[in-house]
Amino acid sequence: MSPSSQSPSSTRISRSVRAISLLPLLAVLILPAILTGCGGGQDEDIVLATVGHTDIKAGYYENRLVRLEENELPRAADGFPMDMSLMEGKKGFLETLINKEIMVQTAENMGLQNDPGIANARKTLTEYEASMVMWDRVISEPAKTISPEELETFYAKMGSSRDCFYVICNFLEDAEAARKMGDEGADWEDVVREFHDGGAAPTGRYEITVPFGRYNPEFENGVFNAEIGGTTVPISSSYGYWVLRVLKENPGKKPPLEEAKAQILDVTWNRKKAHIKEEFKNGVLEKYKMTIDPDALWKCYQGLPAGETLFREGTQDPRKQDELSPLDIATRDMDMLFYSYINLDGEVKEFTLLDYKIHFDKMNVFQRPKDTDLMGGLRNKIEAELGKILLNFEAQDMGLFEDPEVTDKVDLKVEEMMVNKLYSEVVNIEERVTAEELEAFWAEHSHEYVAKENRSGRMVVCQDAELAAEARTKISAGMEWKEILITYGTDRDNKSKSGKLEGVIQSPGEPVSIALFSIQPGELSEPFEMSNGRYGVVLLESVVPERQVEMIEVSEAVGQRIRENRKEVVFLAMMAKWKESIPVTTHEERLADVASWEELTAVDVPENLVPRN
């Protein structure tokens, strides 16, 4: 978070932090790990400790450690993160892993894995993680292969756009007829009058400019593969079937190829992912023979509540369930087959308009298809719902529900749930904090609560150093700050705040903070480079000096800290009791070769990394 976005209440008061409670760190450690750094130290199968029936190995140690942010590392008695390259830090982290495993096994001994909520969560988590692994294997890796020819082809059209007339149709047959009418040279207004099912164009002219590289590949290819002056084939979209007449192509501007490479790689990677995902999804729908009857779809679309909006008129309050109109399906059509698919056992599952009406009438206002989305929007929402079911079938058929990558992630998340449930059930404290307890705590810890010096002023963010220098000159000459922002400002958030900076504290390495703390009230900073590559100029207007905080200002936070201390005492007592029944053997001498946090999180960035973050 940059200083400009911080509020005084969240930045000014600081205190030193004692050694943190185990539970927050344990929760972080149980999350699934993805080793993203430069690799581990010693053999990952080396056993560092044995807790009951579980070995804690070097690979597990490093996978847990690499997931932590710096502020989540184990802390020493002085409140600062331990150095994880030193033996003290490594022992501390191993002890945390041991404590986590003791909690997991204690929860298992109590039968918490059979808790209905946890058992149901395992099923849901398995479906989710299996789908994530499936998408990664099907999409992400293949999409990363981008050839020089693909890069050059994209660059050739980069910056260009095409001006088109358009119509949107509910039915493919109408879109084909509209295309035929357009190819025969009909006036486009006549094509619109005959076939357009979408909303009226605000200007009265059904025109659109399609920039290259902005839309999904299927839509874009349809537009850019057509001849100038010609009409596209019908293009399916979430709104219906588009037919466009291409009027002209505008070349536009683009940077040199070397400067554009990173952007092209990013865009191409995302477009390839979208294309592969769409092809895979369509293959799954075909494999499980998913069908939607077009006549039933039309009747369903006609029965959608007319003009239904998300919010109550004149407010931002969502419409409640009892305020929503039901799907209007004629009684004679209720038994009409709407959609169907086959399941993993080869059984045909059929659903009627009545089945969908029952489902629709239970939806909240955000879930329900709207008549303003056209029939294509209704079709896409139904396909999306069915797609989740069928993609889940496909993940099972691929064996991903039993895949170690999936089961390991699910097991870790279930362990997290058991640990949290165990903690909530055994760590019970007196929540009330008396005035006497507050006073006693404050007498001992008041020196830890200090409102740091903070500074306020104004800032303008410019595109480059030259413009920042020009803006500084204009500010010195008396130009109003509003005009400065209009003329030179490029940061929307900064401009929306009229350039104001409030309550900025000193933060080493933060450009805005460094600039504000290098000048005196009334002075302007020199132009400085910001973390996003732009340049800023700040004016310091006021300084609030550091001061000791009064207890009344932080009494709620102090009370919460007292409660957390109570919880920690109870928790540590319970942990000592659990350790008596679960044997632990440690091999601390083997910690010397495990990688440190710094080694694990150091990343070498290839020159053409895809994607660019």
CATH code for the domain of 229: 3.10.50.40
Structure tokens at 294: 């077009």
Predicted local confidence at residue 240, as pLDDT: 85
Q: Which pLDDT tens digit goes with each residue over 113-132?
A: 999 999 999 999 999 999 99
Instruction: Evaluate whether residue 356 is within a structural domain.
Output: no
Predicted local confidence at residue 601, as pLDDT: 87
d(CA 151, CA 136): 23
Instruction: Evaluate whether residue 513 is within a structural domain.
Output: yes
Predicted local confidence at residue 372, as pLDDT: 84
Measuring CA to CA, which residue among 200, 224, 225 is closest to residue 214?
Answer: 224
Instruction: Evaluate whether residue 184 is within a structural domain.
Output: yes
Structure tokens at 321: 């369930």
42-51, 135-144, 520-529, 567-576: least confidently modelled range: 135-144
Predicted local confidence at residue 18, as pLDDT: 32
Question: What sign does the dihedral 538-542-545-548 (CA atoms) show?
Answer: negative
Percentage above 90 pLDDT, the chain: 68
Type and span of the H or E element at 461: strand 454-462
pLDDT at 401 over 90: yes
pLDDT at 22 over 60: no
d(CA 54, CA 577): 19
Predicted local confidence at residue 613, as pLDDT: 41
Instruction: Evaluate whether residue 194 is within a structural domain.
Output: yes
Instruction: Evaluate whether residue 496 is within a structural domain.
Output: yes
Q: What is the DSSP letter of 214?
A: T
Q: Is 275 exposed, middle or buried (0-12, 13-18, 19+ CB in 10 A)?
A: middle
Q: Which pLDDT tens digit goes with each residue over 541-593?
A: 999 999 999 999 999 999 999 999 999 999 999 999 999 999 999 999 999 99
The domain boundary, picked from 499, 523, 545, lies at 545
Predicted local confidence at residue 609, as pLDDT: 47
198-207, 456-465, 494-503: least confidently modelled range: 198-207
CB 49 within 8 A of CB 56: yes
Measuring CA to CA, which residue among 447, 448, 541, 455 is closest to residue 506?
Answer: 455
Question: What sign does the dihedral 80-81-86-90 (CA atoms) show?
Answer: positive
The distance of Cα 550 from the centroid of its chain, to the nearest Å, equals: 39
The domain boundary, picked from 522, 545, 568, lies at 545
Q: Which pLDDT tens digit goes with each residue over 338-385?
A: 999 999 999 999 999 999 999 999 999 999 999 888 888 899 899 999
What's the Cα-to-Cα distance from 109 to each of 489, 574, 579, rounded to whole Å?
Answer: 62, 15, 13
The distance of Cα 193 from the centroid of its chain, to the nearest Å, equals: 42
Predicted local confidence at residue 5, as pLDDT: 36
d(CA 135, CA 265): 20
pLDDT at 2 over 50: no
What's the Cα-to-Cα distance from 354 to each of 27, 297, 331, 339, rounded to whole Å?
Answer: 46, 12, 9, 11
| Residue 411 CB neighbours (<10 A) | 16
Q: Which residue has the higher pLDDT, 320 or 67?
A: 320
d(CA 175, CA 344): 36
CB 485 within 8 A of CB 460: yes
DSSP string, 251-276: ------HHHHHHHHHHHHHHHHHHHH
CB 38 within 8 A of CB 28: no
- DSSP E strands: which ranges in 103-176? 161-169
Q: Which residue has the higher pLDDT, 490 or 17?
A: 490
d(CA 514, CA 526): 11
Q: What is the DSSP letter of 84?
A: T
Predicted local confidence at residue 212, as pLDDT: 92
d(CA 344, CA 106): 38
Instruction: Evaluate whether residue 187 is within a structural domain.
Output: yes
Q: Which residues of 298-315 are buried (b: 16+ CB within 10 A; e: fewer)?
A: ebbbebbbeebeeeeeee
Predicted local confidence at residue 42, as pLDDT: 55
Phi, psi (5° rounding) for residue 451? -85, 110
pLDDT at 166 over 60: yes
- Name the 3-class secondary structure at 476: helix
Query: Which residues, other chains included, contact 157 with Cβ-Cβ below 8 Å and sequence gap of 6+?
Result: 212, 213, 224
- Name the 3-class secondary structure at 229: coil
Predicted local confidence at residue 20, as pLDDT: 36
The domain boundary, picked from 226, 253, 280, lies at 253
Predicted local confidence at residue 140, as pLDDT: 74
What's the Cα-to-Cα distance from 144 to each of 48, 264, 611, rounded to whole Å?
Answer: 37, 13, 8
Structure tokens at 275: 């294309």
- Beta pairing partners, 535: 462, 529
Instruction: Evaluate whether residue 143 is within a structural domain.
Output: no
CB 601 within 8 A of CB 37: yes
**Number of folded domains that form the chain:** 2
Measuring CA to CA, which residue among 209, 299, 290, 306 is closest to residue 252?
Answer: 209
d(CA 19, CA 77): 5
d(CA 207, CA 214): 17
DSSP string, 359-426: HHHHS-TTTS--GGGHHHHHHHHHHHHHHHHHHHHHHHHTTGGG-HHHHHHHHHHHHHHHHHHHHHHH
Percentage above 70 pLDDT, the chain: 91
pLDDT bracket for residue 603 (50, 70, 90): low
Longest dimension (CA), the chain: 90
Q: Which pLDDT tens digit goes with each residue over 354-366?
A: 999 999 999 999 9
Mean pLDDT value across residues 4-8: 35
Instruction: Evaluate whether residue 316 is within a structural domain.
Output: no
CB 579 within 8 A of CB 559: no
pLDDT at 97 over 80: yes
Domain of residue 496, residue span: 453-545
* Residue position matching structure tokens 């192509």: 249
| Residue 462 CB neighbours (<10 A) | 24
CB 551 within 8 A of CB 435: no
d(CA 305, CA 300): 10
d(CA 613, CA 611): 6
pLDDT at 4 over 50: no
pLDDT bracket for residue 478 (50, 70, 90): very high
d(CA 117, CA 157): 53
Q: Taking all residues of the chain, what is their mean pLDDT, rounded to a whole number? A: 88
| Residue 99 CB neighbours (<10 A) | 23
Query: Which residues, other chains included, contact 438 with Cβ-Cβ below 8 Å and sequence gap of 6+?
Result: 551, 555, 558, 559, 562
